[in-house]
């Protein structure tokens, strides 16, 4: 049996509307929204009875998805959003963009801020990290080839 695909990456947020707006401005498409609640869901997560509002977004090519979750119950117990880039655990999501400068201008209106600087790796990529809504760490890469 072989791995078929990575289905999605999940990010827990406090402000679901702002996060959806940000990722739609980045270029993802809102696939749907809904509630995930009840004892059955808690059996998967180990959290018991839970209520979570989710939004599923997909990349324009349809191959990748991002699941944004806002926990209503149980309450959020930890916050990793301000962890430095060398902290253990999940770091960031990286997105390939056609126009890095244009993408940064567009996301600036949604509160995006550069973490360091825009750098060029040889003649291959222009890269940067930004902090998006709620301080989420996002990588952006423009292919120069």
For residue 27, the domain's CATH number is: 3.10.180.10
pTM (2 decimals)? 0.89
Answer yes or no: is 83 within a domain. Answer: no
Residue 75 DSSP label? P
Residue 133 DSSP label? G
Residue 88: per-residue pLDDT: 81
DSSP string, 29-94: EEEEEEEEEEHHHHHHHSSSSEEEEEEEEE-TTSS-EEEEEEEEESPP----TT--TTSSS---EE
Query: 129 lies in which domain range?
Result: 93-143
Answer yes or no: is 59 within a domain. Answer: yes
Residue 41: per-residue pLDDT: 87
Q: How, if at all, do strands 50-58 and 65-73 pair? A: antiparallel
Crossing angle of helices 16-26 and 100-108, in 10° steps, is 150
Residue 81: per-residue pLDDT: 81
Which stretches in the chain have pLDDT values below 70?
none
Residue 105: per-residue pLDDT: 96
Residue 101: per-residue pLDDT: 97
């Amino acid at each position: 049996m072989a791995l078929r695909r990575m289905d999605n990456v999940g990010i827990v947020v406090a402000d679901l509307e702002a996060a959806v707006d940000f990722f739609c401005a980045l270029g993802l498409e809102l696939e749907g929204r809904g509630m995930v609640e009840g004892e059955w869901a808690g059996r998967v997560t180990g959290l018991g009875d839970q209520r979570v509002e989710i939004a599923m977004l997909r990349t324009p090519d349809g191959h990748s998805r991002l699941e944004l979750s806002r926990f209503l119950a149980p309450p959020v117990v930890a916050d990793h959003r301000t962890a430095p880039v060398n902290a253990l655990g999940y770091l960031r999501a990286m997105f390939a963009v056609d126009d890095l400068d244009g993408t940064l201008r567009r996301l600036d209106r949604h509160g995006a801020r550069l973490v360091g600087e825009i750098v060029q790796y040889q003649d291959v990529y222009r890269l940067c990290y930004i902090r998006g809504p709620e301080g989420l760490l996002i990588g952006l890469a423009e292919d120069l080839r």
